[in-house]
Each structure stands twice: as C-alpha cells, then as structure tokens.
Structure 1
Amino acid sequence: MSYTASNTRYATMTYHRSGNSGLKLPALSLGLWHNFGSNGNYENMKAMCFTAFDHGITHFDLANNYGPEPGSAERNFGRILREELHAYRDELVISTKAGYTMWDGPYGDWGSRKYLLASLDQSLKRMGVDYVDIFYHHRMDPNTPLEESMMALDTAVKSGKALYAGISRYDLEHTRQAMEILKELKCPFIIHQTRYSIFDRHIETDGVKSFTAQNGCGIIAFSPLAQGLLTDKYLKGIPEDSRIKTDGRFLHADQLTPEKLAQITALNELAKNRGQTLAQMALSWVLRDGEVTSVLIGASKPEQILENLEIVGHTSFTEEELRAIDAISPAE
C-alpha cells in the first residue's frame, strides 16, 4: 500500500525565508547523516520520512558521503522517493553536498570543479532525481581557488541540476569571499550550513552568525544537540544503544567529564522549568532570535521526530533564561 501524506501536514509547522531568497524552509529539517545508511532498517527510514513530512518537515538534507557506506543514504532516500514520495516531489526541498572523500584518486575529494560536478551527477543518479533544491560545497578546500569551487556551484545551478547554492563549515572570511563571488555571478546563494548548539557557539564568536543575517544569507544548524550531549540520556550513565556505544566516531566517553555532566544536569533542570525536555530546549535555543533559518534534527525512530516537533511555536526565552544558559555554558 503506497503512502498518502496527511491532509493536515501544513497545519502546525512554521516556515522561515532563507536569507533574502524566495525559498522558505521549515523550522525543523530532517538530516539523513545517521540511520539512513546501509546498516539502517529500511522500514524505519520510511517511517521517519513519513512522520516528518506528515508534520510539515519538507526539507530532507543529505550529502554524497552520508552512510555508512558513502552514498547509501542517497540511495535509500532515492528509493523512498521513487516508491512512496514521488507524488510530492514539488513539495520537498532536497539538498545534498560534496566536499569529502567519495572515490579513489585525485578527483574524488575537496573542491575542484571536476569533483564537485561529477559528484553532483552521481548524487542525482543515486536519488533518481533531475535536480536537487540546494547543492552545497561541504567544506573549505585550502588547495583549490575559491573562485573555482564557487563557479562549479554556479554551473550546477545554471545547468538546472540545482536550484540554489550553499556552503557548509566555512569560516567568516571564506563566507564573505564566497558571497561576493556568487553575487557577481548572479548565482542564488542562499544558505550556510554550520555546526551550532549551546555547547558550540563558534559562529557567534567568529562573526559568521551575525554576518549572514546582515547580508541576506540563511543559516541551517547541524548538531544542535551536540551529538546527544544536550539530552538527558547520559545523566544516569551511558546507555547500550547510545551513539557512544554504537558508533564512537563523533562522541566519546571521555567527553562526559564531571564538568560536562554538571552542565548537562543544570541545563536539564532549566528545561524542566520551561516545560521542555533538554533536547527540546536545545533546539528551541538555536532558533531563539530569528537568525537561524532552520535546525537540522537527526532521529533513530519516528517518536524522536514527534518529540522534537513540539518546539514549533515555542522558541522564545526570557532574558533570565538566556542569562542562565550563558552562565552554564558561555560562548568562548
């Protein structure tokens, strides 16, 4: 039995314009970084996509290397799109990226024109689509002229293989330069994807957050829960099904220092006083001031998506709450 989307899918979600562009993104977007690879359960992947879309999450964020194995998240999402979501393609925002290692040899990594455009072609084939809505350069390349990488993004857009261009993990100076190049090329550069959370405020201290807001570029934040630290799951030890136990690539047990656990405990109490879980408060905090367009959530089951969706319309904080969060985890 094929999937039919909920008739009320747009009833509660809020949408924010990405910078000065015409594209609106949902307050929450679904990232397919984890749990959509070759080691994931396909029926669970479908259930998460259906839950997301049924509640107004129209943006699905991928990259060429998402897995494991690299490329498998795009293949799995492409299968879901082909078998279940194809009727709703024009209601979806699909993004992908290139910048990390995908194949052997000198042309399968970083930011050359050859790599970026070849990778995009491969991504389109894996997903079975004619275009993506957003194509990102995934990371700065110190050995390729920035003009070359940005001109590749421009080619992707003007060839019709992407509708908008974006960058990811860029520092302030390269963000400024990229914006200038793409503006001169008249390429619709609309978004910067960057890591941002209560525990990681580097875009505040290096100026990226305020610069993009002032110059018509949206921000979409990844790792808003600091790989699970900004949840209550580690307050009573390390669960067997936690990312520390099952993955270990991005979060390690030695990061759970007494000082970090004290911060998590204090933030958890503050969240309870707000009537939220710690995860909900952490997501709300990212969206608190309107400078972040959308926050990327990851999930291992549909119930987590539903819990995260409860923040929609509840992202405001009192000055007292913001000061308390800053005291617990200050910007460095």
Structure 2
Amino acid sequence: MNNYQPKEDRYTKMKYRRCGKSGIQLPMISLGLWHNFGDVDDLDNSRAILRTAFDNGITHFDLANNYGPPYGSAEKNFGKIFAEDFKSYRDELIISSKAGYDMWPGPYGNFGSRKYLIASLDQSLKRMGLDYVDVFYHHRPDPETPLEETMGALDQIVRSGKALYVGVSNYPADRTAKAAKILKELGTPFLIHQPKYSMMDRWVEEDNLLDTLENAGLGSIVFSPLQQGILTDKYLKGIPKGSRADKEGTYLQKDRITPEIVNTVQQLNEIAKDRNQSLAQMAVAWLLKDNRVSSVLVGVSKIKQLEDNIAALDHLEFKAEELEKIEKILNG
C-alpha cells in the first residue's frame, strides 16, 4: 500500500470554470488517459502523472472503455492506482468514462445500443473498482441506432446510480441539440460535450457547436488541444526520431508533418515566444479564451509536459493583434 499524501495547497494551484449551467466546476486543465496508461506503458510513470495532476488541483480524470492498448487496460491500471492512492479522495474527483467505439467482438460491442452502453459501463466500473462514474459519455454518434434509445440508456444509467451526469463526444451540433431535447424531457442531467478542437482543427466553430452548447446550458471539454503534438516545439525542425509521428501505427501519421505544417508551427512559435509561453501553452490558452470551453483535456507522457500545460493558465489573455496574427498564419 502506498502512502500518498496530496499537497495541501493543491486547490490554490488550479483555476476552475463552471461547466455550462450546472453546479459542477471543472479544472481548466483536465487529465486524459487515452495514451500512456495502457499495459504497454510504465505503471510507475502513470502513477507519478496522476499524483502530479492531483497535487496541482486537477480533479478530473477522463477515461474510456477502449483506452490502452490493449482495450480496457487504461481503466484497469487507473483502478490499481486509484485503490492505492486516491480511494480516500474519491469525493474530490470527477472520473469519467465512455462507450461508443469497437470494444468486443460481435454486434453488441460497438456504437450506441442500450445493451452495449449499459454492459460497457458495468465492465468499466469493475475494471476501475468504482461504484459509479461522475460522467458517462456516448463516445460517438451512431447513425443506425435511434437517438431515443441511446439517450434512454444514458438516462437509465443515471437512475441506476452508475453515473451522476451524462455527456456526448464527437456529436455534431444538430445531433447534440436533439440529444439535449430528449434528455431534458427525460429529466437526465446532461452536463457536457467532448469535441476535438485545436487551433488547427476548427470544425467546432464551423458547426456552431459552442453556440448550441451555450443555448442548451452545456459545458465543453476539448480533446487533442495540441493536435497530437503538432502544436508543440517537437516538430519545429521536422520529425524527430522516437516522436509519435515517427512510430508506426500511431494516430499521428508521418505524412501529416508537411513542410507547410512545419512552417506554420515555426511562425506560431514566434508569437508564443513573444508572449513568454511555449507553443503548447499558447495553444491551450487560445482554447480557453472562450468561456464556453470549460476545460482542456491534456494527455502527457512526462510530468514536465503536464506542468508545462498547467503553466498555460498563468497567461490566458490575448491582445487583438496577437489573435489577428495567429489567424493570418493559420489561414496561410
């Protein structure tokens, strides 16, 4: 048994933002366990990252059934660390999980059926050693299953005590509005949307998603804020050996790091330097300039990366000319 004692001043180190019109405040930086918590990763490093997060006031840990690799291993490893380090702090934490992507063989291990969502959450709770999650998401839209069935399953999950709130991820604005209407009629606490959003991935703006969330009283937590590492100093000179883009079978493919991308990143980095920030810090701050972004979800492999992301909160303001320069660079 570990004798982890979190730092007493942890809540003075973080800024919190209300999630939509709910009673929940989220840390403006949340920790995602998509990468670096699977069986292929070092458990002691995973533990050190979680401890550092909580020591700095990060109260929200975000998981999903298929995080790993292999599938399920991030939840299982989180469960081990939770039991040893965080169990007595359960009421200080927001723990989320999701279901929606391929998880087990056959027709009931994917998408958005009532059977899949309820079975998946039961498995997730067992892996993590939890009685409930704070937020349970439908991870992606299902074009075949009626939205009423999927939302009805989320409603039952809350009523059964297995989740306190529900959310959706990767839903476009129109489907989010329909989901919100169904859940409101059911009286289900619909809290949050988790979209992919960064300086270089602006579909959220094109789709008017944030307006839709504001109208429905929902918050948002954005993932891939650094565009899978592109918006860091890692690729300023192209693709370094051993980076995510250099590895086969990763989400970030080599052909995405084009000379044009490198040039864009170099120009953005100059603005960040003028702001006394790293490029990663500026990319996080750029997202948080909109109050409708409740939290930014970061994934890290090293403690230093996490501390760097948290330090972005020291300088969130942008001058109009900085924003204009950024737009000019991005629209190249």
The equivalent residue for 1:213 is 214
Letter aligned with residue 118 of structure 1: A
Q: 1:216 & 1:196 partners in 2: Cα distance?
A: 19
Q: In 1, are the aligned partners of 2:118 and 2:157 still within 8 Å (CA)?
A: yes
The equivalent residue for 1:266 is 267
Structure 1 residue 235 displacement after superposition: 1.3
The equivalent residue for 2:254 is 253
The equivalent residue for 2:47 is 46
Q: In 2, are the aligned partners of 1:14 and 1:313 still within 8 Å (CA)?
A: no
Name the SS for the 1:10 alignment partner.
Answer: helix
Structure 1 residue 245 displacement after superposition: 2.1
Deviations 1:307-329 (A, max 9, x none): 11101242111111111111111
The equivalent residue for 2:174 is 173
Q: 1:275 & 1:39 partners in 2: Cα distance?
A: 36
**Structure 1 runs not aligned, ≥5 long:** none
Deviations 1:166-193 (A, max 9, x none): 0000011100100000000010001000
The equivalent residue for 1:236 is 237
Pairing 1:97-246 to 2, within 5 Å after superposition: 97-246=98-247
Structure 1 residue 247 displacement after superposition: 5.1
Letter aligned with residue 81 of structure 1: F
**Which is worse superposed, 134-143 or 14-23?**
14-23
Q: In 1, are the aligned partners of 2:238 and 2:262 still within 8 Å (CA)?
A: no
Q: 1:247 & 1:29 partners in 2: Cα distance?
A: 28
Letter aligned with residue 324 of structure 1: K
1:57 aligns with 2:63: no
Q: 1:248 & 1:275 partners in 2: Cα distance?
A: 35
Name the SS for the 1:95 alignment partner.
Answer: strand
Structure 1 residue 330 displacement after superposition: 3.8
The equivalent residue for 1:93 is 94
Name the SS for the 2:269 alignment partner.
Answer: helix
Q: In 2, are the aligned partners of 1:117 and 1:152 still within 8 Å (CA)?
A: yes
Deviations 1:227-280 (A, max 9, x none): 000011111232222111235421111111121111101100010000000000
Write out the 4+ residue segments of structure 1 that deviate beyond 6 Å after TM superposition. none
Identical positions, percent: 57
Letter aligned with residue 191 of structure 1: I
Q: 2:210 & 2:85 partners in 1: Cα distance?
A: 37
**Which is worse superposed, 232-241 or 201-210?**
232-241
Structure 1 residue 291 displacement after superposition: 1.3
Name the SS for the 2:205 alignment partner.
Answer: helix
Letter aligned with residue 19 of structure 1: G
Pairing 1:3-82 to 2, within 5 Å after superposition: 3-82=4-83
TM-score, length-normalised on structure 2? 0.98
Q: In 1, are the aligned partners of 2:238 and 2:257 still within 8 Å (CA)?
A: no
Deviations 1:197-254 (A, max 9, x none): 0000101011102221232100100000000000111112322221112354211111
Q: 1:10 & 1:246 partners in 2: Cα distance?
A: 38
Letter aligned with residue 131 of structure 2: D
Letter aligned with residue 13 of structure 2: T
Count residues in correspondence: 331
Name the SS for the 1:100 alignment partner.
Answer: coil
**Structure 2 runs not aligned, ≥5 long:** none
Q: 1:267 & 1:83 partners in 2: Cα distance?
A: 42
Name the SS for the 2:318 alignment partner.
Answer: coil
Q: In 2, are the aligned partners of 1:20 and 1:217 still within 8 Å (CA)?
A: yes
RMSD (Å) for aligned C-alpha atoms: 1.1
Q: 2:290 & 2:297 partners in 1: Cα distance?
A: 16
Structure 1 residue 295 displacement after superposition: 0.2
Q: 2:86 & 2:247 partners in 1: Cα distance?
A: 30
TM-score, length-normalised on structure 1? 0.98
